[in-house]
């Protein structure tokens, strides 16, 4: 009986050691973000300005190897204003906007002790949702989805086996939104732009 107890104790200790030695293959992170949309001029004489939008980004990574992973992201901003200027509306038409991001990426990491720089790229979709209130001076603005590409790079600093701090620059390339506004005003620019998105957050490995 004692031998069986010793055997099971040793077996449990071995399993615990193996489990602790096993590397985490998944992580989830929550980050603060800023969406910075550049000034855009176009061949249609429509110009687009905007102020930064602030929000949050939730990401999930699955490690295929110790240095490569697949990532999915969902982001949302509180609100910002996109202003359109054209020959018939030279004083500017503001559209108060809430933006959502749904994206996926392949992530390549490099390990230098506690520092883990990484690069990523993949498809992205941006949902531009107009907020119809006194900040939006057109009732003909509608939700618009634009599909494009995500690229970025940053680093993760490991503060414990379960947590790291991440900082990253992300770029999302999509067409400039028009909010399908073609009746009251024509916001068409026929341009693509790169939305810059600095990100800082914390990740949990499991």
Q: The domain containing residue 129 runs over which residues? A: 23-205
d(CA 179, CA 124): 18
* CA–CA dist 175, 162 (Å, integer): 38
- The answer to whether residue 10 is domain-embedded is no
- Which CATH number do you get for residue 76? 2.40.160.20
Structural domain contains residue 12? no
pLDDT in tens, 103-152: 999 999 999 989 999 999 999 999 999 999 988 999 899 999 999 999 99
CB 54 within 8 A of CB 199: no
Contact criterion met (CB below 8 Å) for 187 and 181? yes
Given a cut of 50, is residue 15 above it in pLDDT? Answer: no
> Does some domain include residue 126?
yes
Mean model confidence pLDDT for the chain: 89
Bigger pLDDT: 5 or 182?
182
pLDDT in tens, 155-182: 999 999 999 999 999 999 999 999 998 7
Q: What is the dihedral of CA 106, 112, 113, 116, to 10 degrees?
A: -30
In a domain, 47, yes or no: yes
What pTM was estimated for this model as a whole?
A: 0.85
Residues near 67 by Cβ (< 8 Å), separated by ≥ 6? 108, 109, 110, 111
Domain count, the chain: 1
Compare 185 and 149 and report the one with higher pLDDT: 149
**pLDDT confidence tier of residue 24, bands split at 50, 70 and 90:** confident
The confidence score (pLDDT) of residue 165 equals 98
Residue 13 has pLDDT above 90, yes or no: no
């Amino acid at each position: 009986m004692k031998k069986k107890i010793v055997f099971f104790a040793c077996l449990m200790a071995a399993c615990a050691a193996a489990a602790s030695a096993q590397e985490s293959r998944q992580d989830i992170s929550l980050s603060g973000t800023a969406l910075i949309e550049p000034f855009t001029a176009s061949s249609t004489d429509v110009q687009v300005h905007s102020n930064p939008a602030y929000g949050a980004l939730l990401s999930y990574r699955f490690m295929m190897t110790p240095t490569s992973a697949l990532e999915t992201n969902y982001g949302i901003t509180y609100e910002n204003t996109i202003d359109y200027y054209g020959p018939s509306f030279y004083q500017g038409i503001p559209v108060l906007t809430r933006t959502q991001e749904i994206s996926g990426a392949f992530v390549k990491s490099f390990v230098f002790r506690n520092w883990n720089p990484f690069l990523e790229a993949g498809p992205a979709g941006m949902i531009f949702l107009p907020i119809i209130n006194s900040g939006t001076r057109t009732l003909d603005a509608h939700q618009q989805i634009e599909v494009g590409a995500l690229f970025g790079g940053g680093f993760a600093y490991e503060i414990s086996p379960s947590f790291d701090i991440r900082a990253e620059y992300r770029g999302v390339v999509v067409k400039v939104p028009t909010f399908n506004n073609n009746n009251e005003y024509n916001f068409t620019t026929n341009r693509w732009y790169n939305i810059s998105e600095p990100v800082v957050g914390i990740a949990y490995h499991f």
